[in-house]
Amino acid sequence: METETLTRTRVDITTEADVTPETGDAPPAFGRCPVCGKPLRPRDKRTGAPAAPKPGTGYESRARCSGCGTILVYLGSGRWRPLSEDDLSDDDRFADSIGLD
């Protein structure tokens, strides 16, 4: 009869607070969705690299939450708010009227 020796290994769980931009493990936190509270990790629309948008640049300062689907506007310093009718430009309204997303 053969016996097996079981060994336990310790598994470290990295939380969001432990991940820093210097480690390269994950993109830095860019705030949370004000609607559902999901951590946001916005990406540059052109390169796909993790980056916060510039505040106040219209379409370029928007992101969609992958948790609840809300379109958000970046205010800076990790702060977001849901897109409102006042944020839409004439181009946005035209795109909505012809069904562009």
Which structural domains are found in the chain, ordered by start? Answer: 19-98 (2.20.28.160)
Beta strands in 1-87, from DSSP E residues, in sequence order:
62-64, 71-76, 79-82
With the C-alpha atoms ordered 91, 93, 94, 95, is the resulting torsion angle positive or negative? positive
Stronger pLDDT, 28 or 39, i.e. the higher one: 39
pLDDT digits (tens, 9 = 90+) for 57-96: 888 888 889 999 999 999 988 899 999 888 888 887 887 7
Residues above pLDDT 90, as percent of the chain: 19
> Would you say 101 and 92 are in contact if contact means Cβ atoms under 8 Å apart?
no
